[in-house]
């Protein structure tokens, strides 16, 4: 079951259903230092922070033997170059959906973070901390020593100053027992810096790097140097397999990119793990590396080996998809039904970019900060245009469908889309996804080549748009075991859209100059051309405005069967043609929901229309209007016209369509118009009028008027049937979703 929410209701839904998941995400932007408590410059004893906002200025020290404990409900704001030096103990203990937030008051002048120095007999424990907008959130300085280090369930994002997490050489002289450093269940995302371990192997030091997410880190305009352009950098020196290699398992190291910008081209490559040193090899399986990983892992390894000594990378058994135990992140992206999150795919974002699909490794939810932004270069400024959009969550909330409600204008071309503000059930921010950035870099490479730093280009937010939740899957608590994919055969737009169509077909005439049976007589066939404008409320109902221009014709002399059912006999010699111009409104019903481009979509329509007609007959190469003649004597009593040229009808039809693409459909069908006149063909149950009287009523026509009424000099009624006439058409339709 799915719930449908209005724009107003969607806000209430977000705050009620995901309030707990998004509480820690409200303060994503740098904040003011006003009304904050000052962090003490020195801590000499056990110091516990449970709640409150703190500002960190200058160099602050947690002395040897002292303990700094930071619990949920605490916000740390570092000012420019603010630093906390840890000589003693550091315990950061947040909780699910309530992270300890550690950031800077001003992202353009960030603070440093925590520096771990010297030896201590105490652990370092960090859990459920949110580090962002800092220079070096965590640094273990040279000759550090701790019996155990645990950094778990934390987020490191928007860190743009080189190496942001650095572990230098441990004190190997004082170390007496094995030291275990556990880096587990963290998210390292949307950074332009690196996590670096400068000495990843020693007999008393063991690294366990498991179940982390290194994703959506981007290095734009950098040189491929390994240390600063890779999400994870290891210096691994090991002699003849005598030392245990660092444990690197079950991580998602995926969709991290470098953009090497030249005047003539842009190299857009994925980057993974960079390992240098004297070791012979290092096994980086099993981890998940994303799309076409084997090809680019080998390329990365070749680039590193070309410049320095490095161990051989073994990746024999990479994971086919990320672990569901990893923190939430996107591992498949589709645009208009085509999977595009591939370094070889050059996507152009334009007015036809309509539906974005994101597939995560676990259920996802929107935070109050959810946004879809179009970013493009204009006047040396990166302008950020927020797009109205509609959200739909499917497949246990592991699939997020974003339908854009704004079109990308021509003047804003050559940009890319940013989707941000999704969270998982534990409150972890899903890494921001950039779509179409490769094309953006290529089209703007001349400017970007001369820019000193991509990150320093001015950015300008242009609008304040909103999003609306369409539906949320009620099975959000259930993890899926199936392999989700971007289905290029799945119809993406099925509700709330306009469409324009053209029909072309052949007409069928029912009247006094043809049989009443449903048959097609080729000599009487005439063309039809129509236009349709429809609005699809949902998958089953559509309101359609229609306009048809068509021709109808009948002739006694063209079939020996004509006249036997409705006419007198085929010896009458009557004939007609008429152009019908029709304007109507129809209600269209589709009995079945369609999901695939391959689906054949039946539909039934019924409506009402008004139409114009003017029957004519030909004599000696000239066509004459029959309505003014009064061929059944209507004008003998002084009437100007025999009948009105305007009437109404009830159209009813059945059509079947199939998608050619996401935008275009081809259809075939039949529509019948029930009429409320018997004079579509100018023939009904009236009698042949007196010839002299008819000539007197039509002095300009004379004998022609008699020939139009009674060409073969018959007597009695012109037709024995008083049933109303009708017409229909069958043929093809071509429909474009607007």
- Is 567 in contact with 512 (CB distance < 8 Å)? yes
Q: What is the pLDDT of residue 304?
A: 80
User: HEC states along 455-520?
Assistant: HHCCEEECCCCCEEEEECECCCCCCCCCCCCCCCCECCCCCCEEEEEEEEEEEEEECCCCCCCCCC
User: Per-residue confidence at 467, pLDDT binned at 50, 70, 90?
Assistant: confident
Based on its alpha-carbon atoms, the radius of gyration of the chain, rounded to whole angstroms, reads 38
CB within 8 Å of 446: residues ≥ 6 apart: 263
Retrieve residue 563's tokens.
């006249």
Q: Answer yes or no: is pLDDT of 475 > 60.
A: no
pLDDT band at 326 (very low <50, low <70, confident <90, very high): very high
In the block, tokens 């995901």 appear at: 18
Report helix, strand or coil for 453.
coil
Half-sphere exposure of 252 toward its Cβ, with a 13 Å CA cutoff? 30
Contact between residue 677 and residue 647 where contact means Cβ atoms under 8 Å apart:
yes
Could you tell me which residue, 572 or 61, shows the higher pLDDT? Answer: 61
Q: How far apart are CA 547 and CA 322, in angstroms?
A: 53
Angstrom distances, CA of residue 76 to CA of 99, 112, 130, 141, 421? 11, 12, 10, 22, 21
Query: Pick from 646, 623, 671, 735: which is nearest to 506 by CA?
Result: 671
- Cα separation, 664 vs 278, whole angstroms: 59
Q: Which residues pair with 376 in a beta bridge?
A: 383
Per-residue pLDDT for 559 more than 80?
Answer: no
Contact 321, 483 (CB under 8 A): yes
Predicted local distance difference test score (pLDDT) of residue 384: 93
State the DSSP string of 316-380.
Answer: SS-BSS--TTSPP-EEEEEETTEE--STT------TT--EEEEEESS-EEEEEEEEEEEEEEETT
In the block, which residue shows the tokens 């934390």?
Answer: 154
Cα–Cα distance list, 602 to 208, 297, 656 (Å)? 58, 49, 4
Phi/psi of residue 106, nearest 5 degrees: -140, 115
Residues 187/213, Cβ–Cβ less than 8 Å: yes
| DSSP-based three-state secondary structure for 302 | helix
Please give the Cα distance from 571 to 559 (Å, whole number): 11
Residue 204 is predicted with a pLDDT of 87
What distance in Å separates the CA atoms of residue 490 and residue 198, rounded to the nearest whole number?
48
In angstroms, the CA 414 to CA 266 distance is 15
pLDDT at position 488: 76
Cα–Cα dist 675/722, whole Å: 13
**Residue 516 predicted with pLDDT over 60:** no
| Rounded CA separation 401/542 (Å) | 23
Sign of the torsion formed by the C-alpha atoms of 199, 200, 206 and 209: positive
Q: Is residue 178's pLDDT more than 70?
A: yes
Per-residue pLDDT at 462 exceeds 50:
yes
CA distance 627 to 631: 8
Residue 564, pLDDT > 50, answer no
Contacts of 15-20 spanning 24+ positions with Cβ under 8 A:
15/368, 17/365, 17/472, 18/365, 18/366, 18/367, 18/423, 20/97, 20/427
Question: For residue range 11-64, what is the model confidence (pLDDT) as tens digits?
Answer: 334 433 443 344 333 333 444 445 789 999 999 999 999 889 999 999 999 999
Per the CB < 8 A criterion, the answer to whether 183 and 222 are in contact is no
pLDDT at 276 over 80: yes
At 557, give phi and psi (nearest 5°). Answer: -80, 0
Q: Domain limits of the chain?
A: 173-178+188-327, 330-471, 497-737
- Which range is least confidently modeled, 130-139, 269-278, 484-493, 642-651? 484-493
Q: Look up residue 707 and give its two tokens.
A: 């020939």
Q: What is the number of alpha carbons within 13 Å of residue 571 lying toward its C-beta?
A: 4
Instruction: Tell me the pLDDT tens digit for each residue of 657-716.
Output: 999 988 899 999 999 999 999 999 999 989 999 999 999 999 999 999 999 999 988 888
Checking if the pLDDT of 638 tops 70, the result is yes
What pLDDT, on a 0 to 100 scale, did the predictor assign at position 486? Answer: 81
Count the neighbouring beta carbons within 10 Å of the beta carbon of residue 493. 17
Q: Are 137 and 167 in contact (CB under 8 A)?
A: no
pLDDT of residue 653: 96
CA pair distance 705, 709, nearest whole angstrom: 6
Closest CA to 284 of 186, 363, 212, 370: 212
Terminal alpha carbon distance of the chain? 29
Reported confidence tier of residue 478, pLDDT bands at 50, 70, 90: low
E strands along 379-479, which residues?
A: 381-386, 389-394, 399-404, 416-424, 433-435, 459-461, 467-471
pLDDT higher than 90, residue 92: yes
**Distance between CA 419 and CA 150 in Å, rounded?**
31
pTM score of the predicted model? 0.78
Q: 701 phi and psi, to 5 degrees?
A: -105, -40
Q: Say how far apart CA 326 and CA 340 lie, in whole Å.
A: 23
Q: Which of 144-158, 257-271, 376-390, 434-448 has the lowest mean pLDDT?
A: 257-271
| pLDDT value, residue 180 | 92
User: How many residues appear in the chain?
Assistant: 738
CB 116 within 8 A of CB 140: yes
Q: Report how far residue 573's alpha carbon sits from residue 592's, in angstroms, rounded to the nearest whole number.
A: 49
| pLDDT surpassing 80 at residue 237 | yes
Q: Which two tokens stand for residue 159?
A: 């860190």
Query: Widest CA span of the chain, in angstroms?
Result: 132
> Among 2.40.160.20, 3.40.50.11540, 3.40.50.300, 1.10.443.10, what is the CATH number of 497-737?
2.40.160.20
Is pLDDT above 80 for 514? Answer: no
Q: For residues 177 and 511, give the distance between their C-alpha atoms in angstroms, rounded to a whole number.
A: 103
How far apart are alpha carbons 664 and 38 in whole angstroms?
Answer: 63
pLDDT at 721: 78
Tens of pLDDT, residue by residue over 580-613, are: 999 999 999 999 887 788 889 999 999 999 999 9
Q: Are 585 and 535 in contact (CB under 8 A)?
A: no
Whether residue 75 contacts residue 101, with contact meaning beta carbons closer than 8 Å, is answered with: yes
Has residue 412 got a pLDDT over 60?
A: yes
* Residue bearing the bigger pLDDT, 242 or 565: 242
């Amino acid at each position: 079951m799915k719930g449908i929410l209005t724009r107003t209701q969607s806000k209430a839904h977000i705050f009620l259903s995901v309030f707990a998941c998004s509480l820690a995400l409200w303060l994503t932007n740098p904040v003011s230092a006003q009304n904050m408590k000052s962090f003490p410059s020195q801590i000499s004893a056990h110091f516990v922070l449970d709640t409150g906002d703190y500002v960190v200025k200058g160099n602050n020290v947690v002395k040897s033997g002292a303990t700094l404990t930071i619990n949920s409900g605490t916000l740390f704001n570092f000012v420019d170059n603010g630093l906390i030096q840890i000589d003693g103990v550091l315990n950061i203990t947040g909780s699910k959906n309530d992270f300890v937030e550690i950031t800077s008051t001003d992202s353009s002048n960030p603070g440093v973070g925590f520096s771990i120095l010297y030896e201590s007999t105490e652990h370092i424990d960090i859990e459920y901390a949110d580090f962002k907008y800092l220079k070096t959130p965590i640094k273990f300085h040279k000759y550090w020593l701790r019996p155990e280090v645990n950094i778990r369930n934390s987020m490191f994002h928007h860190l743009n100053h080189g190496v942001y997490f650095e572990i230098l050489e441990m004190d190997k002289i004082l170390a007496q027992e094995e030291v275990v450093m556990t880096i587990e269940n963290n998210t390292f995302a949307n950074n332009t810096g690196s996590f670096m371990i400068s000495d990843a192997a020693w007999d008393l030091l063991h690294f366990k790097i498991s179940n982390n997410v290194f994703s959506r880190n981007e290095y734009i305009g950098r040189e491929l140097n390994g240390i600063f352009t890779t999400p994870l950098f290891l210096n691994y020196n090991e002699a003849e397999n005598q030392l245990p290699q660092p444990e690197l398992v079950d991580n998602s190291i995926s969709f991290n990119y470098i953009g090497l910008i030249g005047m003539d081209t842009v190299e857009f490559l994925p980057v993974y793990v960079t390992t240098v040193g004297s070791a012979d090899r290092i096994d980086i399986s099993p981890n998940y590396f994303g799309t076409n990983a084997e090809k680019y892992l080998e390329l990365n390894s070749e680039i590193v080996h070309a410049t320095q000594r490095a161990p051989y990378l073994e990746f024999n058994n990479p994971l086919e998809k990320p672990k569901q135990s990893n923190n939430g992140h996107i591992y498949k992206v589709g645009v208009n039904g085509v999977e595009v999150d591939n370094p070889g795919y050059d996507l152009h974002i334009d007015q036809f970019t309509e539906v974005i699909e994101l597939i995560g490794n676990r259920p996802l939810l929107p935070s109050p900060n959810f946004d879809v932004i179009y970013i493009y270069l204009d006047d040396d400024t990166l302008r950020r245009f927020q797009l109205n959009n509609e959200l739909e969550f499917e497949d246990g909330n592991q699939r997020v469908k974003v339908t854009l409600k704004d079109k990308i204008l021509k003047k804003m071309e050559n940009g890319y889309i940013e989707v941000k503000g999704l969270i998982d059930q534990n409150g972890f921010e899903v890494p921001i996804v950039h779509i179409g950035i490769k094309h953006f870099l290529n089209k703007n490479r001349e400017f970007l080549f001369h820019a000193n730093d991509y990150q320093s280009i001015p950015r300008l937010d242009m609008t304040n748009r909103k999003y609306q939740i369409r539906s949320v899957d009620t099975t959000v608590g259930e993890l899926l075991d199936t392999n989700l994919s971007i289905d290029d055969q799945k119809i993406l737009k099925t509700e709330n859209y306009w469409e324009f169509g053209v029909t072309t077909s052949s007409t069928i005439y029912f009247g006094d100059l043809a049989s009443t049976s449903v048959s097609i007589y080729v000599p009487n066939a005439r063309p039809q051309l129509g236009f349709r404008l429809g609005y699809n409320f949902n998958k089953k109902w559509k309101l359609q405005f229609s306009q048809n221009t068509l021709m109808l014709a009948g002739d006694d002399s063209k079939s020996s069967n004509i006249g036997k059912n409705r006419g007198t006999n085929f010896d009458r010699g009557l004939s007609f043609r008429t152009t019908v111009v029709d304007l109507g409104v129809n209600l269209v019903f589709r009995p079945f929901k369609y999901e695939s481009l391959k689906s054949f979509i039946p539909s039934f329509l019924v409506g009402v229309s008004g139409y114009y007609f003017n029957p004519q007959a030909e004599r000696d190469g000239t066509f004459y209007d029959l309505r003014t003649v009064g061929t059944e004597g209507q004008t003998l009593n002084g009437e100007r016209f025999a009948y009105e040229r305007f009437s109404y009808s009830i159209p009813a039809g059945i059509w079947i369509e199939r998608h050619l693409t996401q935008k275009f459909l081809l259809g075939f069908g039949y529509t019948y118009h029930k009429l409320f006149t018997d004079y579509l063909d100018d023939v009904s149950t009236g009698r042949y009028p007196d010839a002299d009287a008819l000539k007197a009523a039509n002095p300009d026509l004379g004998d022609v008027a008699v020939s139009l009424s009674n060409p073969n000099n018959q007597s009695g009624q012109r037709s024995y049937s008083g049933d109303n006439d009708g017409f229909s058409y069958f043929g093809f339709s071509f429909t474009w979703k607007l």
